[in-house]
Amino acid sequence: MAETKEKSLSDEKPKPRVRPIVRLGIFLISHSFHVSVVCCTAGVLALFLLPVLAKNTYISENALMPGSASPMLSNQHVSDGNRLVKDLTNPNSKSSETGIESHKIIAQYMLDLGAEVSFHKFHPQMNQFHPLHFFSSPDSGKIQENYSCSSYGINTVGIIRAPHGDGKEAIVLVTPYNALKSGFGEALSLGIAYSVFSLLTQVTWLAKDIIWLVADSQYGEYAAVAAWLREYQTPKFSSLSTPNAEMCPDVNNLFELKGHSISGSKFSNSFRRAGTMASALVLKVRDQNEQFEDTISIYAEASNGQMPNLDLINVVNYLAVHRQGLRVNVEKLWSLLNSSWLKSLGEIFESLAKVAKSLYPKWKFGIPATEYVEGTATLASSLYYQALGVPTGPHGAFRDYQVDAITLEISPKFSLDKVWRNDILLRGGRLIEGVIRSVNNLLEKFHQSFFLYLLTSPSKFVSVGVYMIAFALLIAPLPMVAASLYVDANSSSNCSKGDSSTPSAITDTDEHSIAIRSWRWLNSAKLVFIVHLWGAIVSLLPYFISQIPDCSPTTSFMIWVLLSILSLLTLNSVLASPLACAKATQEKEWALVKSVTISSVFIGLGLMSVINFATAEIGALLMVPMCLLAQPLKLDVRAGTLRSFCRMICNLVLGHIAFPPAAFFLLKGMLDGFGNANVGDFWMWVESLWAWNSATYLFIGMVQLPCWVLCISILFHTC
Amino acid sequence: MQDLCTMVHLCYCLFLVLSPLIELKDSQIIFCTDVVSAMLIRATGQNLRLAYLRSLESLDLVKQIEVSGDIAALIYLCNPFTIVACVGLSTSPIENMAVILCLYGACSRLIPLAAFGWVIATHLSLYPAILIIPVIFLLGCGPDSPPRKLFLQRHQQKEVLNQSKLPPRFSWGPVIHFAFWAFLWSVYVLVLCGISLKQFGGLWEMFKSTYGFILTVEDLSPNIGVLWYFFAEVFEFFRNFFLIVFHVNILFMILPLAIRLRHRPCYLAFVYVAICSMLKSYPSVGDSALYLGLLGWFVNELADMQFSLFLFCGYVGVSLLSPVMHNLWIWRGTGNANFYFATAMVYACLQIVLVVEGVSAMLNHDRKLRNLITGKPQDAKS
């Protein structure tokens, strides 16, 4: 364990009889430079090895039994679905301005199947500043003051009660639909959902209720689903005085019309609920497509890099590939696919594996170079989206309530004839039916398989136990170097004290040095604490800046930077620059500052790796070298050797790269080209982070930025 | 959890002392308790400092002591653990105040007050009962001082045996006084409890649902200790055996520590409090707040403590990591109990390291004083 290691590391005086663990610790401390070089290299190498180490997925939960029953979705259901598609794409249905007509059509179709139908009206929520939200459970949402009747959305919800179920569990099927400007794809997705829905009203095996949510996506797909979920999970009882959607004439109109035209008793004005959600599927069909075959893309990343249970992805992948003959895709970083260095790296790994296999035939770990490149591209995108902490689709809203959900996007090869349309309806419908049937078999929540993993292809994954090794190797040098710096700083001051003191004054000096020796780090800790406090202030500033009306991103960013610098100067002057005043007493102050900085970075990275691994990994790649290399430039200049010169160059380069905005622009430039980089982009990016409750925002503000400031202050330390 | 059982207690207490209508949640009681505790800590710290200065003078060791009880009070008040316990309206500040009251009374030789604090602290959470040993030492031979042997050596060197400069021998008078008052207070508390609980099943019911609740570890909901996990895992027929083992664990440590640290009763009390907060059945951060605050009394003596940076970082890390792990397990559902338990174990280890290092630093300090007196060189330590 790192703690025990560190404990032994900071043992400062080797006694005659040392325990082995202490001896090991002393050895590690004294060779901390070599150890940290080896560990960091191994950490980066292990990161690149992850695609090779990826395992094939397998269905872990026995109860799922995907594909064990033959699909029951027949051409009858497909033609039902086709009818709905035709009705929706019929130009007459789009006459109304708010698209109420198409909602009515959908509701009528649901009612005809015997499902319970209700409408859910919602107001889109504004972006709010709640950076700590990832930590708490979602609340019922603040009731905003200024609702206008012009902006609201309508979700249509249909519920089938399971004939044999007890109504305590449910499976959710979501189809985003924008009634105002729906493409053919959205109508088709509704058609697929409808054909499955019509089948499910007839089957006898259903044990969980089915909820079909047609989410009104005119204010974004996520907002609609999130609003419905919020209402479903945490009902709010607003006081009568606040205006809400019910008071708007247009909506009332909708209900009145309903009342006249629909004779069924299954329609209700109130919000309908079924049981606890076992899982949710979001179904989309892409409009235009340039693929040569029918593919299905899986989006799984929810907020803060949370993933649904791997079994859900496995079931979809298994059914799509082995039953319906669809190609399954997960997101890739396309720019990496053509990079030559990655290809050559893959070839190196491949040849190494061949050599290993020739040495001992049972070692089979190599994968072809092309597969390696693809795996790396997928892994990189998996890391990127998890690190961003922004959900990749409406499924993200479900994960906030611990419901496993994924988005399936079907991209059919494009043609317009009816046969093709029937084919895609049939295959898509059968896939959804199969997944629902599997989930229907579940006795408990998804729990068997992994929650913490990275995908390298739809059928390959890297589990937490493997990718943590890469991360642990990367941050392992931190406690070691911290301990060695600490010990150095302490012992050097002891030596100087011992030399200068005369025998007669020994008691006095000893008493004095002892009083400060062991607790000298408190001064540095104070500095580190102040800088972290400043980080917290900087993270809070955007809340106030975003209140300023009519502010362009560039000006907002400028205000932010100015206020940050101002607050740093104020804090520094109020709390009396500890670096300067401590310098008088100790010459090795910077070493202690560096030691405490490294400790705090270690804690921060360890913490972040639990909250969101991908952020911690990317942050560690930037911060670990910077922290480890930081040394006052003055010392390097004075030394004048080649080694110190290299270190100085590295320090300067890292000092530029690790500054969060600089890192952002560098990354953006690498992905999109440097041509259209704009200062305001960073502000917009940060805004999106906090609006999506991403923990990455806090990480940047409270770990990375303070660490950068501390490292810069070490670089420019006057010693 | 632990709060639940102290809540039960406090209902009785408030019944007796205050009016039954006062609710803990809406009043400022807990905040006030913390402030009062800090003031008591400060007063005790100054007492200790004066006593220690006097004994050092009599040893002819002049030593600059700039820090006093102030720092302990500051540590207590500024400690995030105290703030969290106060904001969370935990009842541990009230228990802490009882413990501090007891120590304060013993240090300033207000015997009835010490007895009252001890009785109330024991009544509230049972574990402070073992504080009777340091309190007896405090009353018997006065507050912390270097070992008695040193004084004798010093005076043998000088070859003048000045009796007035020696620390007083153990005197039984105050101890008997204390016992009398403790008996009186406990009878008083029990009688009042008996009267107010007549309709709820009487005293026996109270013992069963308070001390019994503490001793049998019935509530296994997760806390920062390690026992909940252990007793959730242990087989039912071993349960009684392990209950005995864990509670005897505390008792085993009492005697050796008492012998070794008998000349420093306040430090002994600190060590006992730390051990209790480590091994008690429902620990909370409020307990850590108490012993970390008391640690401030001994800043001079513990200046040489090893691993201080490591311990500091460990405490910071664990106190940040443990809520995240809890969140991962309970709310997000992606972790499991082992995640959270791991932080609880690390926390327990940190406390062990703190106690071990603290005690060894204190013994080193004594050794150094002896070396200064006998004139041996510094390096001969340990």
**Chain B touched by A507 (CB under 8 Å):** yes
Closest-approach residue (CA) in chain A for B375: A507
* Radius of gyration, CA atoms only, chain B: 22
Claim to verify: residue A549 and residue A431 sit in the same structural domain = no
**Tokens linked to A217:** 């996506």
Tell me: do A318 and A396 sit in the same domain. Answer: yes
A322-339 confidence digits (pLDDT tens): 888 888 988 888 888 888
Residues A437 and A534 both lie in one domain:
no
Together in a domain, A105 and A41: no
* A100 close to B (CB below 8 A): no
DSSP A281: E
Under an 8 A CB cutoff, do B308 and A452 touch?
A: no
pLDDT at A5: 45
Evaluate whether residue A481 is within a structural domain: yes
| Mean pLDDT (whole number) for A289-309 | 83
**Domain interval for residue A682:** 28-46+470-490+513-574+586-714
A-chain residues within 8 Å CB-CB of B310?
Answer: 3, 6-7, 10, 483
Give the CA count within 13 Å in the CB-facing half-sphere of A216. 27
Residue A359 lies in a domain: no
Q: How confident is the model at residue B134 (pLDDT cuts 50, 70, 90)?
A: very high
Is A24 exposed, middle or buried (CB count within 10 Å of its CB: 0-12, 13-18, 19+)?
middle
User: Which residues of B make CB contacts under 8 Å with A?
Assistant: 61, 63-64, 300, 303-310, 312-314, 316-317, 320-321, 323-325, 327-328, 331-334, 339, 346, 349-350, 353, 372, 378, 382
Between B53 and A214, the higher pLDDT residue: A214
Percent of chain B with pLDDT over 70: 86
Asked if the structure places residue A276 within a domain, the reply is: yes
Helix (H), strand (E) at residue A172: strand A169-177
| Residues in chain B within 8 Å Cβ distance of A515 | 300, 303
- Measured CA to CA, the distance from residue B209 to residue B14 in angstroms comes to 18
pLDDT of residue A20: 83
**What average pLDDT does this structure show over A186-202?**
90
| A550 in the same domain as A424 | no
Residue with the bigger pLDDT between A481 and B14: it is A481
CB contact under 8 A, B313 and A599: yes
Quick check: is A287 in a domain?
yes
Say whether residue A595 is in contact with chain B using an 8 A CB cutoff.
Answer: yes
A268 vs B: CB within 8 A:
no
pLDDT confidence band for A494 (50 / 70 / 90): low
Q: Is pLDDT above 90 for A468?
A: yes
Q: What are B135's two structure tokens?
A: 């309190």
Q: How far apart are CA A633 and CA A229, in angstroms?
A: 55
Query: What are φ and ψ of residue A559, in 5° steps?
Result: -60, -40
Asked if the Cβ–Cβ distance from A606 to B313 is below 8 Å, we say no
| Inter-CA distances, A674 with A341, A663, A671, A679, B86, Å | 21, 13, 9, 12, 52
- Same domain for A409 and A551, yes or no, is no
Q: Give the pLDDT mean for A184-192.
A: 88
User: Is A654 within a domain?
Assistant: yes
Question: Among all residues of chain B, which has the CA nearest to that of A302?
Answer: B332
Residues B316, A486: C-beta atoms closer than 8 Å = no
Closest CA to B73 of B104, B117, B29, B111: B104
Task: Report if residue A687 sits inside a domain.
Answer: yes
pLDDT digits (tens, 9 = 90+) for B296-317: 888 888 877 878 888 999 999 9
Same domain, A477 and A563: yes
Q: What is the DSSP string of A403-464?
A: -EEEEEEEEPPP--SHHHHHHHHHHHHHHHHHHHHHHHH-SS-S-SS-SSEEEEETTEEEEH
For chain A, the domain total comes to 2
Are residues A662 and A707 located together in one domain of the fold?
yes
pLDDT higher at A68 or B289: B289
> pLDDT tens, A560-579?
899 999 998 888 888 765 54
Sequence-ordered list of residues with C-beta below 8 angstroms from that of A257, at least 6 positions apart, any chain: A104
Nearest-angstrom CA–CA distance, A663 and A654? 10
Q: Assess whether A89 and A181 both reside in one domain.
A: yes
Q: Do B321 and A607 touch (CB under 8 A)?
A: yes
Q: Do A603 and B320 touch (CB under 8 A)?
A: yes
Distance (Å, rounded) from C-alpha A127 to C-alpha A560? 19
Whether A611 has its CB under 8 Å from any CB of chain B: the answer is yes
Asked if B306 and A452 come within 8 Å (Cβ–Cβ), the reply is no
Chain B neighbors of A511, CB-CB under 8 A = 63-64
Do A278 and A165 belong to one domain?
yes
Q: Pick from A534, A708, A527, A530: which is nearest to A624 by CA?
A: A708
Contact B307 A595 (CB under 8 A): no
A422 is a domain residue:
yes
Q: Give the nearest partner residue to B333 out of A402, A511, A521, using CB atoms.
A: A402
**Nearest-Cα residue of chain A relative to residue B320:** A607
Residue A298 lies in a domain: yes
> Is the ipTM here above 0.95?
no
Residues 6+ apart with CB under 8 A from A240: none
Does A474 lie in the same domain as A437? Answer: no
CA distance B286 to chain A (A): 23
Q: Is A661 on the interface with B (CB under 8 A)?
A: no
Nearest chain B Cα distance for residue A444, angstroms: 13
Residue listed under structure tokens 């005995």: B244
Percent of chain A with pLDDT over 90: 25
Q: How far is A383 from chain B (nearest CA, A)?
A: 18
Q: What is the CATH number of the domain that holds A103?
A: 3.40.630.10
pLDDT score, position A599: 93
- Domain co-membership, A424 together with A542: no
Mean pLDDT of chain B: 83
pTM of the predicted model, to two decimals? 0.87
- pLDDT band with cut points at 50, 70 and 90 for residue B275: very high
Contact B382 A521 (CB under 8 A): no
Contacts across the A-B interface (CB distance below 8 Å)? 81
**Is pLDDT of A584 > 60?**
no
